[in-house]
Amino acid sequence: MARFHRTGAHDINQSDQNGSNNGSSDSSGFLTEGNDVVCDPYPDVQPSTSRQSQSIPRKRKRKSPKLVPQRRPNISNRKKSKRFRPGLNALREIRQFQKSTNLLIPRLPFSRIVREIAQQQCGAFMPDVRFTQHALMALQEASEMYLVLLMEDSNMCAIHAKRVTIMPKDMRLALRIRGDR
C-alpha cells in the first residue's frame, strides 16, 4: 500500500533544516507517491491568524454500528407504585382491622405460648395438659379483647399528654388507672 505524504511549506522547512532536497519537496500542495503526482483538492492555505491550527482533511473513518442495549418489553399492566402521604396507610389498616372480625394473633404461636404457660404452672401436678380447639379460641378471643382495650386506654393517655404516639409510660399509666398492677 502506497503512503501519501503532503508536500508544502512544512516539508520545505524540514528539508532545509536537514540540508537535503530529495526532489519531493514540492510546495504546490500536491500529494506525491514516488514520481507520480496526484492533484490535492485541499491545497495548503496560510491561516489568517497565528493561533488557528492547520488541520489536514482526511477521510473519515466509518463508525462501527453502536450496540443499542436491549430494553425490556414495555409491560402495560405494570403500574408505577403510587406514593401515599405519611400515615395514610396506617389509617387504612386501622379501618380495615376495625371492619374485620378475624383474630389478629396467629393461632399456632398463640397455642404454643398457652401450652408453655400451662406446662410451667401445672407441670408438677399434670404433666400432660391438653386443650380443645374451642378452649384455645376462647382464650385467644379474651386475650385479644384485653389487649385492644389496653391499647385504647394507652391511646387516651397519649392524647391527654398532647401526643399521638403511644409510649411505654402510657401503658403503665393505663394499667395503673385500671388497677391491673
**Higher-confidence position of 10 and 130:** 130
Q: Torsions phi, psi of 36, nearest 5?
A: -75, 140
Between CA 18 and CA 162 the distance in angstroms is 96
Quote the pLDDT of residue 131. Answer: 94
Encoded amino acid at 20, one letter: S
Pairing of strands 31-33, 5-6: antiparallel
Tell me the C-alpha to C-alpha distance, in Å, between residue 167 and each of 10, 35, 164: 87, 99, 9
pTM of the predicted protein model = 0.51
pLDDT at 68 over 60: yes
Check residue 49 and give its pLDDT: 58
Q: What is the pLDDT of residue 33?
A: 53
Measured between alpha carbons, how far is 102 from 142 in angstroms, rounded to an integer?
13
Q: What tens digit of pLDDT does each residue of 3-27 get?
A: 555 555 554 445 445 554 454 444 5
What single-letter amino acid sits at 59?
K
The stretch 125-147 carries a mean pLDDT of 93
Average pLDDT on 50-55 reads 60
Least confident range from 26-35, 90-99, 101-110: namely: 26-35
Q: Which domains does the chain have, with CATH numbers?
A: 5-38 (no CATH), 105-178 (1.10.20.10)
